[in-house]
Amino acid sequence: MDNFYERKNLKNVRKLRELKPDAYNKFIEFSQSVFKDEALSNKIKQLIAIGVAHTTQCPWCIDAHVNRAKELGASDEEIAEAVLVAMEIRAGGAFTHAGIAFGLADEFAQEHKH
């Protein structure tokens, strides 16, 4: 497989449906229920999903949720803000993990004092 992200590879998900139809169908039902208009509108949920998809770096999720968001009237500016939130969260994770890095560096220094 030369490129994992070729659209033709998505058809291979059918194998999961064939092998485990009950679990597959339960996932589809769950997914549909999550995106129903409730406390948050489907549009807002799709924008959240765009941010999450950028964080998990799933091209199929980005494709699906951008298309759904656009169908629901999301503007390019709203999509841009969802992407920026994802960027901040990813960068913020690295930023705050600096505390772990420096904590480990301090532990190393303490353990290797001469």
Give pTM, 2 decimals: 0.82
C-beta of residue 22 within 8 angstroms of C-beta of residue 30 = no
Give 50-106 pLDDT, tens digit per residue: 999 999 999 999 999 999 999 999 999 999 999 999 999 999 999 999 999 999 999
High-pLDDT (> 70) share of the chain, %: 99
C-beta of residue 99 within 8 angstroms of C-beta of residue 107 = no
Question: CA–CA distance from 38 to each of 23, 33, 100, 108 (Å)?
Answer: 25, 10, 39, 51
Exposure class string for 50-73: b at 16+ Cβ within 10 A, else e: bbbbbeeeeeeebebbbebbeebe
- Does the pLDDT at position 1 exceed 80? no
**Domains, the chain, ordered by start:** 8-37 (no CATH), 39-114 (1.20.1290.10)
Q: How many CA atoms lie within 13 A of 87 on its CB side?
A: 6
C-beta of residue 54 within 8 angstroms of C-beta of residue 86 = yes
